[in-house]
Amino acid sequence: MKILIVDDSSTMRRIIGNVVMQLGFSRDDFDEAEDGVKAWKILGESQYDIILTDWNMPNMNGLELVQKVRAGGNHQKVPIIMITTEGGKGEVITALKAGVNNYIVKPFSAEILKEKLDGVLKK
Amino acid sequence: MSMSQEEIEALMSGLDIQEDEPSTPEVQEPEPVIEEDNTSMSENDIADLIAQTDVATDDSADSSPETATPAIETQAESAAEEAISEESIDELINNIEENDESTASEDSENIDDILASIDGMDETPVESAAAAPVSAPVENASVAAERPSEPEKEAIAKDWTDGQIDQGVFPFPVEKNTKVVNQLSEVATDSEEKASKIFDVLSFVLDENNEIQKNSKALDEFLSKQIVLLDSLSKKFPNIASFKSNLELAQSLQPMPSNIIDRTNAENAQLFEAMELMQFHDINRQKIERVMSVIKKLSTYLNNLFEDETDYHDVATAKHIHGDVNSNLVDEQDLDALIAEFGN
């Protein structure tokens, strides 16, 4: 299983990566991208089973990335979890409408991410 | 009693001053004293005196010439006291008188020598300097002393400006360190780098703990095998005490690896918690970015507000306009008086 972690904060990418490793994945199981543009490029090069993306990022934000992924391509059906500080109801609805499968508000615990990952992967 | 190496060095350094340093003005003052002592006492006498007295030993332990010289003087005085007891009072009085005269003459000669050795200092220039009018240079010197130097002026100006800034009279100068968005951006970037380094440390400890756990597991397996082996050996050879004692030792050590594993597990849990808490760094960074965004938008708004769409050029503006509250304004009477005064 391959996971793509997209976040402009290197610390946040490492935190998510660590949580993912706690869930039993190895370092080779996930790749990182610092914005939507780089994520889109990586998605064109490899196949991923799940995408974990932030919302607010430079160049291309998470919402735009989700819209682009859902618009077409190899990852159109791939589960996407948005991990962001945007905790407003309006934002959650916007993200879900754009095609996000689940939504996590920062700060989050490892258990929350585990639950959301399990829920997405079971589907 | 023999002299220590330090005492010898102290003595030698005292002698070096006499021989080597007449050209330097700083050490010329104690020089006559040294010369006096050396003329009346031989090196052997000095060495004997140093060896005889504890005070001399303590003082000469410090190898600096300044401390060595008084030590020599002390020895010379004590030697003179011993000599007094052996001679008659009259002779002593005569000697003292002679010594005083010779010492006085030597002192005056030494002072002359010292003065002569200092560049530009002899009697004639001193007299001419005394005769020359000194009031003008002294005045100039006092005026120069009153006038602050350039660095002092800058310091005064800086103090005053800082005071004005603190009181809110002056704004902060537009510098890199006072640009708000610039500073906030630096804070966000810098804290991101530092957070990454903290994460490196936490990851390192986590990796080390995992390694310790692996080793502890291997140690646990080895201990279990050893216990089985020693158990069978001690049963087979009950008379050999070492089997039994080693078995007991291995049994007592057996809980340790699992104990280490438990402890590192607990430590790892704390590390994961610390890593999770570092999410707040990202949250705070985003808060800073939000403030930066507000300031940038405000700046854009103010620029738009004050933007001049006409082809405006700077024109000369009046300094004193009717209605201004200014003591420098002239009224009709002042104006008439000024015109009359110039008589144009």
CATH number at residue A90: 3.40.50.2300
Q: Is the dihedral of CA B143, B145, B146, B147 positive or negative?
A: positive
Residue A13: enclosing H or E segment and its boundaries?
helix A10-22
Query: How many distinct structural domains can be found in chain A?
Result: 1
What percent of chain B is modeled with pLDDT above 70? 57
Cβ neighbourhood burial of A91 (10 Å; 0-12, 13-18, 19+)? middle
Torsion of CA B149, B151, B153, B158, to 10 degrees: -170
Report which of residues A17 and B54 the model is more confident about.
A17
Tokens standing for residue B245: 């004692």
Residue A121: predicted pLDDT:
78
Q: Is B279 on the interface with A (CB under 8 A)?
A: yes
CA distance B184 to chain A (A): 16
Query: What is the C-alpha to C-alpha distance for residues A4 and A101, in angstroms, rounded to an integer?
Result: 15
- pTM metric for this prediction: 0.54
In degrees and rounded to multiples of 5, residue B179 shows phi and psi of -75, 120
What digits encode the pLDDT tens for the residues B254-299?
999 999 999 999 999 999 889 888 889 888 988 998 999 999 999 9
pLDDT less than 50: residues of chain A = none
Query: What is the C-alpha to C-alpha distance for residues B51 and B45, in angstroms, rounded to an integer?
Result: 10
Determine whether the interchain pair B279/A12 forms a contact, defined as Cβ–Cβ distance below 8 Å. Answer: yes
Residue B246: predicted pLDDT:
93
Q: Which CATH code for domain B180-306?
A: 1.10.287
SS3 at position A25: coil
Query: What is the C-alpha to C-alpha distance for residues A7 and B299, in angstroms, rounded to an integer?
Result: 29
B261 neighbors B210 (Cβ within 8 angstroms): no
Residue B169: predicted pLDDT:
81
Q: Is A88 on the interface with B (CB under 8 A)?
A: no
Query: What is the C-alpha to C-alpha distance for residues B189 and B196, in angstroms, rounded to an integer?
Result: 11
Quick one: average pLDDT of B42-57? 54
Report which of residues B135 and B63 the model is more confident about.
B135
Report which of residues B4 and A45 the model is more confident about.
A45
The shortest CB-CB distance from B280 to any of A22, A107, A109 is to A107
Encoded amino acid at B195, one letter:
A
Per-residue pLDDT for B81 more than 70? no
Question: Which sequence spans correspond to the domains of chain B?
Answer: 5-130, 180-306
Mutation site for A-interface testing, chosen from B282, B284, B292, B293 by largest number of A Cβ within 10 Å = B282
Q: Is B282 on the interface with A (CB under 8 A)?
A: yes
ipTM greater than 0.90, yes or no? no
Closest residue in A to B279 (Cα–Cα): A107
Determine whether the interchain pair A107/B203 forms a contact, defined as Cβ–Cβ distance below 8 Å. Answer: no
**Angle in degrees, CA B188, B285, A69, rounded to 5:** 115
A59: Cβ contacts below 8 Å, ≥ 6 apart: A35, A36, A37
Residue B80: predicted pLDDT:
47
Residue B331: predicted pLDDT:
77
Query: Half-sphere exposure of residue B195, counting CA atoms within 13 Å on the CB side?
Result: 25
Residues of B in contact with A86 (CB under 8 A): none
Query: What is the C-alpha to C-alpha distance for residues B298 and B294, in angstroms, rounded to an integer?
Result: 6
**Domain assignment of residue A107, yes or no:** yes
What digits encode the pLDDT tens for the residues B208-264?
999 999 999 999 999 999 999 999 999 999 889 999 999 999 999 999 999 999 999
Residue A50: predicted pLDDT:
94
What digits encode the pLDDT tens for the residues B98-122?
655 555 555 555 555 655 555 444 4
Residue A49: predicted pLDDT:
93
Query: What is the C-alpha to C-alpha distance for residues A53 and A36, in angstroms, rounded to an integer?
Result: 9
Average pLDDT, chain B: 72
A6 neighbors A40 (Cβ within 8 angstroms): no
Tokens standing for residue B111: 């002072």
Residue B149: predicted pLDDT:
86
**Domain assignment of residue A123, yes or no:** no
Residue A102: predicted pLDDT:
93
**Domain assignment of residue A62, yes or no:** yes
Sheet of A30-33, strand order: A30-33, A3-6, A50-53, A80-84, A102-105
Q: Which of residues 213-272 of B touch A (CB under 8 A)?
A: 272
Quick one: average pLDDT of B125-137? 47
Per-residue pLDDT for B59 more than 50? no
Q: Is B285 on the interface with A (CB under 8 A)?
A: yes
Which own/partner contact pairs does B266-274 have at CB distance under 8 Å and 24+ positions apart? B267/B205, B267/B209, B268/B206, B268/B209, B268/B210, B271/B202, B271/B205, B271/B206, B271/B209, B272/A18, B272/A22, B272/A110, B274/B202
Q: Which of residues 178-207 of B touch A (CB under 8 A)?
A: 192, 195-196, 199, 203
Q: Per this entry, what is the length of chain B? A: 344
**Helix residue ranges per DSSP H, chain B:** 5-20, 31-40, 43-52, 54-61, 65-86, 89-117, 123-131, 135-146, 150-166, 180-236, 241-253, 255-277, 279-306, 332-342
Per-residue pLDDT for B91 more than 80? no
A54: Cβ contacts below 8 Å, ≥ 6 apart: A6, A7, A8, A9, A12, A62, A82, A83, A84
